[in-house]
A and B are shown apart, each in its own frame.
Chain A
């Protein structure tokens, strides 16, 4: 299911127009993105938490060439689903 299908699904359920929903979805996504870029975590009740994690640099060895690589540190987004969401998904 891609963005378009989700938008139409939401529109069906709420009775809003597709155009409205598209704008709101993109605004929501950009709001979440700016908050995450500020290293804030976004936690939504009943859904889960988005947060930014720092990954340290590490040495990686290519098993075939035995070449060692230094992987730089980076920031990644992680999402941890809420317990209720997780249980719903489990079965």
Chain B
């Protein structure tokens, strides 16, 4: 396959075939080809059975342009050799493709698919179409497969709604703490966003799933295109939702802090007044204890611990401190401390870090002690 056979190799083969010495075979081959050259040069055409015919072709003189100088030159007429293989040789060589036949193409058949495929094996246009269809189906499968990830990412999202809602709900008048008030105050801003962003997912998610199942056969190029686009859009959307979640704690926390400094006096007042109301409210709404549980916990400065919206845990204290070194990432610390990098949110919230991606070197951060919130 693809190797080059020289005269000596050919002589070897010939010697084996005719049981003669290699020298004799080589001498014969030289004579054989010399005879062809001699006869062709004398102007005759030479026909060899089983190989083909060598013929001389007259080439008319023609005008041409010298590429480098641009001059017009005349190429004088000459003769050149042409070789046309014998029918039997042609058939033997073309054996791998002997089954193919010239086909008349029906009108309206698009040749775009065919031209893209360089493989000579795919002759039939139907074959080519099948292939492209398979390709798009594969694409769909891939993009659909991607979906579960963003889904898993946004899974905790719904918890964001129920969490803040019970806080203000159980009798906001009886618990005039600034915490629940200030929280809903800022949270409504970010809250509607995730809600509206998260909502299209469940509604639009089922759409692409049944579609490929039902329409896989009847899918046209435009439909597959639209479908792929839709799935892609979904991916992008979920990506932003996920990204938002990462930013959210810091955002919420910083806003919370600002709000706290502003409402400091009222907050203090609220806290002091709270216990007086609690006895009334506790028997009435026992739920307050659970949902409002993070509030009574205070840190060393007398301030309540940060709450991570949507978190399943609450911060109950500081486990230890860590000095940020080069190469430290909050996610890596979280992975080491809690076994999951998702817990970086709690570290961010506990330390009031504004930019989790850029914590200054040497900053001492507190690793929070976490307690699982009772399931609601």
Query: What residues make up the interface of A, taking CB atoms closer than 8 Å to B?
Result: 1-3, 6, 9-10, 13-14, 16, 21, 23-33, 35-47, 52, 54, 56-57, 59-60, 67-79, 81, 85-86, 88-91
Contacts and interface: CB of A to CB of B under 8 A. Distances in A.
Contacts of B95: 37
Interface string B236-262: 000000000000000000000000000
Interface stretch (B43-51, B135-143, B314-322, B330-338): B43-51
A62 to B, nearest CB: 9
B18 A1 contact: no
B30 to A, nearest CB: 8
A87 to B, nearest CB: 10
Interface residues of B, number: 61
B50 A89 contact: no
Nearest to A56: B120
A1 B47 contact: yes
A60 B123 CA distance: 14
Interface stretch (B97-105, B340-348, B356-364, B367-375): B97-105
Nearest to B8: A45
Interface hub of B14, B48, B79, B96 (most chain A Cβ within 10 A): B48
A13 B95 CA distance: 37
Q: Which 5 A-B pairs have the closest CB atoms?
A: A72-B100, A73-B120, A79-B83, A68-B105, A29-B50
Given A47-B36, A73-B120, A86 B80 contact: yes
B111 A59 contact: yes
Contact of B7 (A14, A38, A44, A69): A44
Given A37-B95, A46-B33, A86-B81, A14 B103 contact: no
Contacts of B214: none
Given A10-B31, A43-B5, A68-B104, A1 B50 contact: no
A29 B51 contact: yes
A29 B14 contact: no
Contact of B46 (A6, A24, A30, A77): A6
Interface in B84-106: 85, 89-90, 92-97, 100-105
B58 to A, nearest CB: 11
Nearest to B39: A1
A72 B123 contact: yes
Contacts of B3: 40-41
A77 B4 CA distance: 14
A72 to B, nearest CB: 3
B317 to A, nearest CB: 75
Contacts of A69: 102-105
A37 B35 contact: no
B105 A26 contact: no
Nearest to A53: B93
Contacts of A6: 35-36, 39, 46-48
A52 B95 CA distance: 12
B349 to A, nearest CB: 65
Given A33-B50, A73-B120, A40 B93 contact: no
20 contacts: A6-B39, A10-B32, A25-B32, A29-B48, A30-B50, A33-B50, A37-B92, A40-B4, A41-B2, A41-B3, A42-B5, A47-B36, A59-B111, A70-B102, A74-B100, A77-B90, A79-B85, A81-B81, A89-B41, A89-B80
